[in-house]
Every structure is written in C-alpha cells, then in structure tokens.
Structure 1
Amino acid sequence: MGTEARTICVVANPKSGRNARDRAAIGQAMQVFGPAAELRRWHRGDDLDAFVRRAVADGFTTIVAAGGDGTVMGVAHALLGQDAALGVLPLGTFNYFARGLGLPQEPEPAARAILGGHRRRISVGSVNGQLFLNNASVGIYPSILQAREAIYERWGRSRALAHWSVIRTIWRFQRAKPLDLVTDGVRQSLKTPLIFVARSAYQLERFGLTGAEAISDDRFAVFVARGGTRWHLLRTAWRLATRRVKVGEDVDVISARDVVVETGKRRPLVAFDGEKRRMAGPLDFRIEVGALVIIVPDDADRVDA
C-alpha cells in the first residue's frame, strides 16, 4: 500500500540545520518525498512532544524522525498511543533502531523505503513513563554518555571516540553500588556497576548477546554486570567489543516483563537510547504493549545491517 508523501512531516533536530552532512542528507530525502511532504525543525528549548503533536494535529499521519537514536526516541515518545506512524531517516552514529528495521542507511534509499513501506504496531519499553526503543540503564553507562558528550563537543562525533569514552569512564570507575532489583515480583539485593535493560534484538545480536527471544516475546532482556572493579569492567567491555561476553561470568541475564530498580538515591541518573536524565526513584520499567505505530520497509527495500 505504501505511504503517501502528502501525509509525511519530517521532523529534524536543531543541529541538522547547521551540520552540512545532515543538511545534505535531509535535502536528498526531501527530493525523494517530493513537494507534498513537509520539513519542520524544532529549536533548542522547544517542547518536542508538543512540536510533534502539533504536526499530527495539522493532519500529518506519518512523522519521520530525521536524526540518530535519541531523536527517533524523542519523536516516538510523542507518538505513544496515537494512530500516526513513526518513520525513520537515520542520521546518527549507530542508528540501532533503524538498522533493526532493515532500513537503508543512505538518505535516498531510506526515503524510498518509507514511501514503499507499511505500518506496523509494536510494543516498546518505558522507564518511569519515558519511552525507549533500544535500551535503558542505570550505573556506569550513564556516566559513559556524559564522557561521550564532552568528547564529541571537543572533537566531533565518531565511533572511535565513542569507544574511547567507554575506556576513559571505566578507568575512572571506583566501586559498584548496592541496589535492589525486582523482576516480575522477585527481589534481589545486588552490588553491580550496571543494570542494562534491553529492547533491541538487533543491538543484542550485534554484540553477540543472548536475549533476542525475550524481546520477541514482549519482554525485557535485563543484563546485570558481574564484578565490581575497573579490571572486571575493562574485560567485559573488551569481550563485548569482540562478541565474547560470557553469561554467568561477565553478566547475568534475566527475562522479565516488569522491572523495578531501587538504587537508594532519590534521583538516579538514567540513560535511555543515548540520552540521559535524572529520574525519581524507584525506577519502574514496563512494556507498553502495542503502543507505537511504525513504518517498516517492504522486503524489496530491506537491507542487512
């Protein structure tokens, strides 16, 4: 059936207008969509939820998020529970959600895949009401994101610098903190540097991790890092990069539909799809069943990530 161009509103973040690569990519995609589609850029300080919902109120039924995983997550959050569909024009460093859908990474083929794609309703994860598409976590990973942002600000964005931010943060790591983890009503008291709650089967497969079955069953794959020293973390990071993480030695994996994390902090720092924010504890992770409509490519447009 496909997507009519007149139903499309492309939503781009403020940086896309200043970044020559992203600006060119959006321009190429808009040429494929044609003049019936509309491009809107929100500005720093704008309420993205309100911005997206205004586009829906204006009659657009396909909202294309032009950006990386963080932008896609933000637009998806605004579309929770609505009939308007999320499309993705991948412009980020990793693009896990887009790759998981089999979307082309180049702008013109991606735009054609959106035009030729079809709608599908999917389940997504949330933490304290905040949607996430790929993962959310508490512990050392939010600190890694802080270091990554500082490095990106100084040197620009690249995968090599993203990996360097991991090493730098682990090297400064002090000790694992105690917390309580409740999965489907079962409570555990733990000392761990990281709780990682996954919802992307593609991301798990990319790093050679188990848990894809839980994702397809509308559950979370919850990874609990073992070991409390920087050496343990460096070893786990190396094994993750080389797809050799060992369940029971480096991490424990739990399949659960409802997850609560109690860190003992009033407002712990939480990472979700490359973004981070302090949230009121305890942290309540839920599966939002069938809450989001997305555009997925037809087989002819699908690519291997």
Structure 2
Amino acid sequence: MQAITSTDLRPALQNAQVLVNLKSGRGAQHPDVHDLKSAFEAHGIAAEITRLKPGDDIPAIAADLARNGAGLVVAAGGDGTICGVASGLVGTDTVMGVIPLGTFNYFGRSLDIPETVEAAVAVIARNHRKSLPVGVINGQVFLNNTSLGIYPQILRTRESVYARWGRSRPAAYWSVMKTMMRLPRRLKLTVTTQDEQREVKTSLLFAVSNAFQLRQMGLEGAECIENGQLAVLIAPDVGRLGLLKNGLALMLGRAQRNQDFELLCAQSLNITSKRKSLLVARDGERTRIKAPFDLELRQGALSVLTPQRDAGAVR
C-alpha cells in the first residue's frame, strides 16, 4: 500500500504567500483579500496575497516564490489553480497550503481539507506536513487526473455552459451529455505498460491519481492507487448511443468495469498516437501536448499541509 508520510514543521509558520483565484467555482462565496489576510492573522501568520489573473503562468509564479525562499505557498482556488501551484513547487523544499474554492474540490476533499476559508486556514496553521505522490504527463503535473479524447472537449463545452448558467455541478454534468451527443472522433492509441502493449480505439483515456475521486464517481481503480500506481480507464469503442449510455452511467456512479470501461494499473506508461499532438486535460485545465505521452506516478514529490490523520492513509 502506498503510504503518505508525515512530519511536523518547526518552528511555527509566520509567513505565507497566498495565490488566490477568485474566478474559481463558487464565485459569490469567495472571500476578498481582507478576509484572507484576517483569517491568517487570527493564527499569527502574516499573509501576502497575490490575486491571479486570466493568463497568468501559475507554475512559474509559484516556482519563483520557492526559488526566492518562500517556506509556505498557499493555493486558494479550484483544482486547476491548486494543480498550477503544485506544479511550481514539486521537487522544492516549499510546503503547499490549500484553500479549496472550486466546484468539485477533489484534491482538498481527498485530504479532508475543509471547504470554508477559516477552517482551511486553521488546518494550515496546525503546520502538519505530508509528502504526496503526483501524476506527471510529459513533465506536466496533475493531482487528480489527466485525460485524452472526449474529456478535454467536455471542458471546452463546460466553459460556455458556465458562462451562460454559472458554475455548478449540474452545469458540469450537462456539459458531459451535451458533448457526448456530438459523437467526438475516436483516438487510435498504442498503450505500453511495464507488463503489456495494446492497440486501442477509444473516445476517452482517463488516468487517475486520486482514489477519492474514483470513489466519488463510483468507479473501480482505487486499489491501483493504493498500490502506488495510476488507475488508467479506457472507454470502449462504441457509437453515439453507447457514448450516451456510458456518460449517464458515469454521472450516476453506475459505470461498470469491462462494460463501460477497461481498467489498467500502471506506475508508468507510454502512449503513442498517429497525431502529432492532442488536447490534454489536467485537473480541469486544457493543454495541447505533443505526442508521444509518458505518464507516471512520482512518489513523494509534493509536501502539503493537511489535518492530522493516520500516516498510512491513501488519498
């Protein structure tokens, strides 16, 4: 079983660099800068707040803070923002704090981090560090999942749905169905793991590093992550009705292995495609990446402040 090690930091935290995305998830419930500062000051921590803007290179901003000696960088936003901050901190001595402000908050919820600012800051103030594995695709970090195929298109649709109806979980689910009704083009991929190589034709390849997210979605594969591997889900090659059926099963938490998806467990894998590049989703964000694709679960790459809990827990 993949353990998450833990170490208390000493001395107590006194300063925090806070990168906040106020455009994430639950807009009306977001704190303002004064609220954030006050929440940290209540625990004796001086917080310097940076408001992120569309187009900001979040990994570069976080990496620059770490390079200049920041001991604590806090990511306040949705999973995409948190992933961006983590990307800049992986492999450094800087610890990451988390204030979940997104729609689903899979990363924060997987670590029992509260979804209110005051409670999340209280977790940070307890100063309890855990070393976590991260997923990597062609050098780019993901904390929950990465995918090829239909899901990046779903994210594109979701942006337009959010713009019209606002950010919510029902709107996100509707984006899934709306995209699947258009019958996206299938991918022809060669997937190579440590054990096998196979040719697949699929509308979706979904690699997950967060067991909590799989359980929330009613999907198998948590045992892969518990054993220090990625859970790789591959959708079958089906037509429009099959895609809609799979999408409905996924949203209802009723998707079944070997019927709605095939499951592979792999610590690392290589994926080749006839296309020179593909649109790839990482924790809710879209990026075009050149093929081939090398994926791995990199152990102990990120330190995060979390509530105290058993050292053997797998998120």
Instruction: Using structure 1 for the length normalisation, give the TM-score.
Output: 0.91
User: Which amino acid is 2:23 matched to?
Assistant: K
For the pair 1:130 / 2:140, whether they are aligned, the reply is yes
User: Does the 8 Å contact 1:5/1:37 carry over to 2?
Assistant: no
2:283 is aligned to 273
**What are the superposed Cα offsets for residues 166-189 of structure 1, whole Å, 9 maximum, x if unpaired?**
110000014533221112252111
Tell me which amino acid in the other structure corresponds to 1:247.
Answer: R
1:240 Cα deviation from its structure 2 partner: 1.7
- Tell me whether 95-104 or 170-179 shows the greater mean CA deviation: 170-179
1:10 matched to 2:18: yes
Higher deviation after alignment, 220-229 or 68-77: 220-229
Work out the CA distance in 2 between the residues paired with 1:32 and 1:174: 46
- 1:32 counterpart = 2:42: no
Task: Return the offset for 1:27.
Answer: 4.2
Of 34, 37, 42, 2:52 maps to: 42
| 2:161 counterpart letter in structure 1 | I
Equivalence for 1:182: 192
For the aligned residue pairs, the C-alpha RMSD in angstroms reads 2.1
The answer to whether the aligner puts 1:109 opposite 2:89 as a matched pair is no
Residue 78, structure 1, aligned to residue 85, structure 2: no
Is residue 155 from structure 1 mapped to residue 162 from structure 2 by the alignment? no
- TM-score if structure 2 supplies the norm length? 0.88
Change (3 A) 1:20 1:184: same
CA deviations on 1:198-242 (whole Å, 9 max, x unpaired) are 001100111121111211222100001114212112111222222
**Unpaired runs of 5+ in structure 1?**
none
Over 3 Å counting, the alpha-carbon distance change for 1:287 and 1:132 in structure 2 is same
Q: Secondary structure at the match of 2:259?
A: coil
Shift of 1:66: 0.4
CA change 1:175–1:38 in 2 (3 A) is closer
State whether residues 209 and 297 of structure 2, in contact with CA within 8 Å, keep that contact through their aligned partners in structure 1: no
Letter in 2 for 1:152: Y
User: Which deviates further from its counterpart, 4-13 or 122-131?
Assistant: 4-13
Query: Hey, what does 1:216 align to over in structure 2?
Result: 226
* In 1: Cα distance, 2:57 partner to 2:214 partner: 32
Identity %: 39
The offset of 1:110, in angstroms, is 1.1
Q: d(CA) in 2 for partners of 1:57 and 1:255?
A: 35
1:226-266 Cα shifts (integer Å, max 9, x gaps): 14212112111222222221111111101001112222110
Query: CA 1:2 to 1:82, structure 2 compared with 1: closer, same or farther past 3 Å?
Result: closer
Higher helix fraction (1 or 2): 1
Supply the distance in 2 between the matched residues of 1:71 and 1:250 (Cα, whole angstroms): 30
Aligned residues: 298
Report the secondary structure of 1:23's partner residue.
coil
- Cα gap change, 1:174 to 1:54, in 2 (>3 Å): closer
Distance in 1, matches of 2:64 and 2:177, equals 42
Unaligned ranges ≥5, structure 2: 1-7
